Structure 1
Amino acid sequence: MLALRRACNPLKFRGFSGGTSRACCAKSEIVFSYVEGKATVVESPQPVSERPRFYHSTNIGSKFYLEKRGFASQAGAEGSESDDDLEDEFSELETPPSANESVVNVDQLISDDDINDIGEPSQNALELSDNETDPAEKKLPRKKAPSELFKAIISAPGVSVHSVLDKWVAEGKDLDQFEISNAMFHLRKRRLFGRALQLSEWVEANKRKDFDERDYASRLDLIAKVRGLHKAEVYIEKIPKSFKGEVIYRTLLANCVAVNNVKKGVEVFNKMKDLELPITIFSYNQLLLLYKRHDKKKIADVLLLMEKENVKPSLFTYILLIDTKGQSNDIAGMDQIAETMKAEGIEPDIKIQAIMARHYVSGGLKEKAEIVLKEMEGGNLDEHRWACQFMLPLYGSLGKADEVSRLWNFCKKSPRLDECVAAIEAWGQLKNIPEAEAVFELMSKTWKKLSSKHYSTLLKVYANHKMLSKGKDLIKQMGDSGCRIGPLTWDALIKLYVEAGEVEKADSILNKAAQQNQMKPMFSSYMIVMEKYAKKGDIHNAEKMFHRMRQAGYQARSKQFQTLIQAYVNAKAPCYGMRERLKADGLFANKAVAAQLAQVDAFKRTVVSDLLD
């Protein structure tokens, strides 16, 4: 653990703090030991009067993330060991994404067909997936296929779930625990959180099940997703004290992280410590994930606290740390963390290898990237076929057409959807549009109905190459097929028009999309339009986009302010009150923002102005 903390906190590494003792000066009353992968609580030999606490800081980074939010403990979701069954717990969206960043999660793209429930504030999972399996996750047996109850619920979208269930019971149909669990799982999997919440409420109201801690946690998670954190906190007060344990609070913590609420997330973590609840690695990872996005200086503090509490890092912990180093272009630090992980007996899986290869490519270390890719392949594609979906885009970003062709020729004998998506992306990076179109055509013939994620992949290829006419034709084909058009499609379409130079048209599409009540546009959709306006020095429209992002529910981040201030810089116009606006949003002017503000400060003094005074 000490080696890991040192690897994460070198003196010369940008973005991390050298002083790690401020948050962890006392030894906790509770320490952890791990037995066969399970966290157990034991008494500390040296109890102290005050437990270590974290304090919220307004030092928020310039990255913004959207979540594909899963339930922290999967209560009520009836987990499965199958990758086809479980959605990732969390996903983050870098802004703006680079062409090769999706190599880690092309198999976890969600489609607009899966997003059709009111109340879900986030619709995208295009970029790096930060996945974590809760060590305390309960595995309940269930059928893989959706149950009849689930089909009845989704087949009546205009009717409340309560009415569907009342009718179901009135007709004398079975409504056992298995049927309820199956319906709940599939509603969650399709992100129909509003309907899942109604199902949970009906089950409790009609006393179809005696709720335990995980059932309450499941309800809490759904309330947070559909109605927000405040309503979730109110609900916690109604939970019987005997069930108000660690699972409840870590579920709330996970939802704080999902909406990037740093202050509330830290409050919940400290609440868990105040209540002397056993804090598992899952909760520490959530705190790391929050600071990875907003305040990297505090990552070392969390690691030090984990060391003092004797909480061992998990595979997900290493994923977070490796990706953080890679994002900061600290390749040496990233390699050091990987070596520390191996020394602890944890071998990097394919996803970690893909993350590292991506950062090697971004850092210009193509030879190292190719070495990792060969390791991922393992000399036998038949045994390591799962790696193909990650390797294809990586080879595309490296410009290796021969390797992309070799892998795709292997896959297309019996293609899988994820591999097709990866191949389209790879051929797009190689500017081989006919090959990308050929893969899409193969998909269309092989599967009866494609989802929006499959159309959006080719649409983004067209957008990247300014092929507006072909993009329009694909959208028409998508509409004719009956495919749902939602945030993913809007994002690709908006990018298509922006890249074609038709910013006003992209703005119009974005505005119409935002007026649809059930779904809101992605963060990146707003940013790409705003950045274009800023580049043109169009202050009015840049401010308009800034305001519309607030209306859509996106909290202000440094990235938005940087883009907005750049509009003033390019317009060579003074910018009044921007520091106050930053402060009002709990942000501070970092080095980049401060440099921008200096350029648009209407009251700055120069040698000439001093002479004239």
Structure 2
Amino acid sequence: MWAIRRSSSSLKKQGFISRSSRISCMMNKVTGRYSEGNSEGISNEISDQYLSFRGFCKTAHGSSKLFLGWQKNFFSLVGTKSSSEIDSNLDDEFSELMGPTVTKGMLDKNVEAELCKDDVDGEDVEMPHDKLELSDSESDARQGESLREKVPMELLKAITAAPVLSLDRVMDEWIEKGNDLTRTEITFIRIYLRRRHMYKRALQLFEWLELKRQLIFTDKDYASHVDLIAKVHGIHKAETYVERVPNSFRSEVVYLSLLANCAYKGYMKKSEEIFNKMRNLGFPLTSSVCSHLFLLYNKKDKKKIVDVLLLMKKENVKPTDIIYQILIDAKGQSNDIAGMEQIIETMKAEGMEPKMYTKSIIAKHYIFGGLVGKAENVLKQMEGEIEENHMVCRHLIALYANLKKVDDVRRIWQLCEPNARIIDCMTAIEAFGKLHKIEEAEAVFDKMSKEGKHLTSKHYYPLLCIYASHKMLAKGKDLVKRMSESGCPIGPLTWDGLIRLYIKAGEVEKADTILQKAAHVTCLKPKFTSYVAVMEEYAKRGDVHDTEKIFYKMRQAGYVCRIHQFQCLIQAYINAKAPCYGIADRMKADNVFPNRVLENMLLQSDPFKKTLLTC
């Protein structure tokens, strides 16, 4: 089983960025892990013992002794026209397009629909991170189906229809009428709300249950409550609640809920702190814990995957299909197709056949690796599952669009169309847009708008992005007006589409104005990508003043500074041929450390660098 390790190649062959010794030293000072020579020791050790990757373990700061004493140190401690000069006629135009914006009063009814990541038309939604969430497991899904007939639909409809702040009144009235509220009903309602990402409503329900003592809480109930608090109010509030949980119920599952949310949000240091606390409390290492760590490190620091693999070997924890799925994706992202295939073979040897979502990941990496034949073979296998699993269609449509196969996209859509759900329509719209079939994308949107129960801005967004990418400004504005006339709240997704629409049309100043107005219209801040899109355009122009302005506005909006923001900023100075004083100190103050690309840009923009004339 552990032979997967032998299939992989080194990080350098996979194209990972190798930092210079100076940068490694900077990183080591931050993480508290100092290099004491090369990492061949750990690499050789793992190659003989563990299901691992040479690419993950050959780092600049590895040590084969790292996990022998995990209790103490298991993880690291870790000149252009500005927007203010735009003609005032844009104000009227913007006001017209904005329509019914999401205000504080509307937040209760509309924010869940605006922020929902998936469809809410009653279907079962599959998201990669959902599989790792405590309360959204496959067993919960099956349990929800078995409980459906035992729950009064009147109560469920009242809960989903009521504004969030009125949920207490709905529940009080239900009890006052003499109705009972059983654990069976509560379980089904919890599953129903969570699977539709109606987290604020579910949290309000749990708070009412705890306040009114309508449910005798178990450790799993407390864990669900922690999960909902983390999703709605953030990790800090969830941690505070954990301290209030009675000691007898503060079990592993409660901390696992907290770890799951930290890992999904990418909070590496906090995730490691929670993991260490779980270990110090004596909780055993489980595949669920490892799954969340793999998910975290696959996004944040792939080199640390080997650390988790080593500990799994030491604790004799067997990989699950979810762990295999994450490892396959990690190998594909690092362009190691041979290593990915070896993992697949080992997975099959362990009696685990790749599921539909895993097959879609495999096909995706084959496509982007240029292995079209292998990708088509996987897609043919997936097509054989259409009758058993309706969700296969949406994956096939997206993958065939990546292969630029118009006929196959049409063929799968024709199979899917009679029973198409809203999320299927959105996938088809994106696919046809990618293939430049605008009329077909519009036809699918018309079908969705006629049959959909209630469209939100996220349902308009794919078509708005298509108009933006094809520089169809007039159609984009008409679509936003159509949203306004239908009573759909205009929020961050719509602003993002409008901003991209104006940028593609070459009117970055108007995009900037929309961004600034949107930041003050509502308590929902514009998307991170909206700021970045405007910032990139200013950087291309060499407009230092406005690039710095957007950089400041992002910080003001609460977005953490990242490498890409500094890349845009430095690029603006380079394009303007202006000196970039103190940028290294600014990066250091924000705990941003340069990769190879950024380091080269720093050298290029250094006002004190030596030239042939100064030497």
What TM-score range do you get, normalising by the shorter chain? 0.7 to 0.9
- Structure 1 residue matching 2:560: 3-state secondary structure: coil
Instruction: Work out the CA distance in 2 between the residues paired with 1:518 and 1:345.
Output: 50
8 Å CA contact 1:123–1:522 kept in 2: the answer is no
1:114 Cα deviation from its structure 2 partner: 11
8 Å CA contact 2:579–2:606 kept in 1: the answer is yes
Identical aligned residues as a percent:
50
1:581 Cα deviation from its structure 2 partner: 2.5
1:530 Cα deviation from its structure 2 partner: 1.9
Aligned to 2:2: 2
Instruction: Work out the CA distance in 1 between the residues paired with 2:176 and 2:420.
Output: 45
Aligned length: 535
Distance 1:336 1:50, change over 3 A: closer
1:23 Cα deviation from its structure 2 partner: 12
8 Å CA contact 1:20–1:300 kept in 2: the answer is no
1:299 Cα deviation from its structure 2 partner: 1.1
1:323 Cα deviation from its structure 2 partner: 2.0
TM-score (norm 2): 0.78
Instruction: Work out the CA distance in 1 between the residues paired with 2:590 and 2:306.
Output: 25
Aligned to 1:513: 518
| Corresponding position: 1:411 with 2:413 | no
Q: Which amino acid aligns with 1:563?
A: C
Aligned to 2:249: 243
Distance 1:117 1:427, change over 3 A: closer
Instruction: Work out the CA distance in 2 between the residues paired with 1:419 and 1:229.
Output: 33
Q: Which runs of 5+ in 2 are unaligned?
A: 19-37, 47-66, 79-105, 120-125
Q: Deviations over 1:383-419 (max 9, x none)?
A: 5653221111222222212222222233334434333
Instruction: Work out the CA distance in 2 between the residues paired with 1:117 and 1:219.
Output: 22
8 Å CA contact 2:133–2:257 kept in 1: the answer is no
Segment drifting more, 388-397 vs 574-583: 574-583
Q: Which runs of 5+ in 1 are unaligned?
A: 27-46, 59-112
8 Å CA contact 1:115–1:123 kept in 2: the answer is no
Aligned to 1:13: 14
| Corresponding position: 1:314 with 2:315 | no
Q: Give matches, 1:258-273, under 5 Å.
A: 258-273=264-279
Aligned to 2:440: 435
> Which of 196, 205, 209 is matched with 2:211 structurally?
205
Aligned to 1:55: 75
Distance 1:557 1:321, change over 3 A: farther
1:277 Cα deviation from its structure 2 partner: 0.4
Distance 1:375 1:118, change over 3 A: closer
> Which of 348, 370, 373 is matched with 1:367 structurally?
373
Instruction: Work out the CA distance in 1 between the residues paired with 2:419 and 2:162.
Output: 36
8 Å CA contact 1:257–1:265 kept in 2: the answer is yes
8 Å CA contact 1:114–1:190 kept in 2: the answer is no
1:279 Cα deviation from its structure 2 partner: 2.5
8 Å CA contact 1:462–1:470 kept in 2: the answer is yes
Aligned to 1:582: 587
Q: Give matches, 1:537-556, under 5 Å.
A: 537-556=542-561
Instruction: Work out the CA distance in 2 between the residues paired with 1:52 and 1:24.
Output: 24
Segment drifting more, 360-369 vs 462-471: 360-369
Aligned to 1:68: none
Aligned to 1:467: 472
8 Å CA contact 1:56–1:262 kept in 2: the answer is no
Distance 1:135 1:551, change over 3 A: closer
- Structure 1 residue matching 2:244: 3-state secondary structure: coil
Instruction: Work out the CA distance in 2 between the residues paired with 1:338 and 1:563.
Output: 39
Distance 1:50 1:423, change over 3 A: closer
- Structure 2 residue matching 1:317: 3-state secondary structure: helix
Distance 1:578 1:304, change over 3 A: same
Q: Deviations over 1:129-170 (max 9, x none)?
A: 444246895634532888444544454437453344334434
Instruction: Work out the CA distance in 2 between the residues paired with 1:146 and 1:505.
Output: 51
Q: Give matches, 1:122-161, under 5 Å.
A: 124=117, 129-133=128-132, 139=140, 140-141=143-144, 142-143=147-148, 147-157=153-163, 159-161=165-167
Distance 1:582 1:349, change over 3 A: same
Instruction: Work out the CA distance in 1 between the residues paired with 2:274 and 2:567.
Output: 30
Aligned to 2:123: none
Aligned to 1:104: none
Aligned to 2:426: 421
Q: Which amino acid aligns with 1:548?
A: K
> Which of 325, 328, 338 is matched with 2:334 structurally?
328
Q: Deviations over 1:161-188 (max 9, x none)?
A: 3344334434444433344444434443
Q: Deviations over 1:462-503 (max 9, x none)?
A: 122111111111222222223343333333232222222222
Aligned to 1:254: 260
1:600 Cα deviation from its structure 2 partner: 0.9
Distance 1:198 1:387, change over 3 A: closer
8 Å CA contact 1:23–1:52 kept in 2: the answer is no
Instruction: Work out the CA distance in 2 between the residues paired with 1:409 and 1:453.
Output: 24
Instruction: Work out the CA distance in 2 between the residues paired with 1:301 and 1:506.
Output: 45
8 Å CA contact 1:221–1:251 kept in 2: the answer is yes
Instruction: Work out the CA distance in 2 between the residues paired with 1:158 and 1:376.
Output: 40
Segment drifting more, 465-474 vs 365-374: 365-374
Q: Deviations over 1:324-353 (max 9, x none)?
A: 222233333333322332232222222222
Q: Give matches, 1:24-423, under 5 Å.
A: 51=71, 53-56=73-76, 124=117, 129-133=128-132, 139=140, 140-141=143-144, 142-143=147-148, 147-157=153-163, 159-378=165-384, 382=387, 385-423=390-428
Instruction: Work out the CA distance in 2 between the residues paired with 1:507 and 1:128.
Output: 33
1:595 Cα deviation from its structure 2 partner: 0.8
Q: Which amino acid aligns with 1:391?
A: L
Distance 1:601 1:120, change over 3 A: farther
Distance 1:135 1:225, change over 3 A: closer
Q: Which amino acid aligns with 1:505?
A: K
1:507 Cα deviation from its structure 2 partner: 2.4
8 Å CA contact 2:7–2:338 kept in 1: the answer is no
Instruction: Work out the CA distance in 2 between the residues paired with 1:466 and 1:235.
Output: 49
1:607 Cα deviation from its structure 2 partner: 3.7
Distance 1:131 1:198, change over 3 A: closer
Distance 1:411 1:398, change over 3 A: same
1:421 Cα deviation from its structure 2 partner: 2.2
- Structure 1 residue matching 2:591: 3-state secondary structure: coil
Instruction: Work out the CA distance in 2 between the residues paired with 1:415 and 1:197.
Output: 31
Instruction: Work out the CA distance in 1 between the residues paired with 2:116 and 2:551.
Output: 20
TM-score (norm 1): 0.78
- Structure 2 residue matching 1:608: 3-state secondary structure: coil
Distance 1:397 1:266, change over 3 A: same
Q: What RMSD in Å do the two structures reach over aligned CA positions?
A: 3.5
Aligned to 2:86: none
Aligned to 1:89: none
1:231 Cα deviation from its structure 2 partner: 2.4
Aligned to 2:567: 562
Instruction: Work out the CA distance in 1 between the residues paired with 2:430 and 2:165.
Output: 40
1:222 Cα deviation from its structure 2 partner: 2.3
8 Å CA contact 1:162–1:202 kept in 2: the answer is yes
Segment drifting more, 297-306 vs 343-352: 343-352
Distance 1:539 1:343, change over 3 A: farther
1:284 Cα deviation from its structure 2 partner: 1.1
Structure richer in helix, relative to its length: 2
